[in-house]
Amino acid sequence: MATNLVVRNIEPSVAQALREAAARHGRSAEAEHREILRAALAQPARRSFKEVLASMPDVGADEDFNFRQA
């Protein structure tokens, strides 16, 4: 379900930057505004604990991490 959003009292420099970004991307200022909001509010994909552990580099030996070394 789509809804409308009205943004008021935007500084002229911000509105101009929005128009310029929209022109660079070949879309309307409204479409640019939607994309900025979507990107800013998107939740990153969550990785499982297993995926996080698997992405850790395999460095050092187990002895390097022994805090009880003499």
- The model's pTM is 0.60
pLDDT tier at 27, thresholds 50, 70, 90: very high
Residues 34-68 pLDDT 10s: 999 999 999 888 899 999 999 998 887 888 777 77
Mean pLDDT of all residues in the chain?
90
Residue 53 φ then ψ, to 5°: -65, -40
Q: Is 32:25 a contact under the CB 8 Å cutoff?
A: yes
Task: Give residue for tokens 């800013």.
Answer: 40
CA atoms within 13 A on the CB side of 44: 3
Share of the chain above pLDDT 70, in %: 97
Residue 31 C-alpha from the chain's centroid: 18
Domain residue spans in the chain? 12-55
Q: What is the pLDDT of residue 45?
A: 84
Beta carbons within 10 angstroms of residue 19's beta carbon: 13
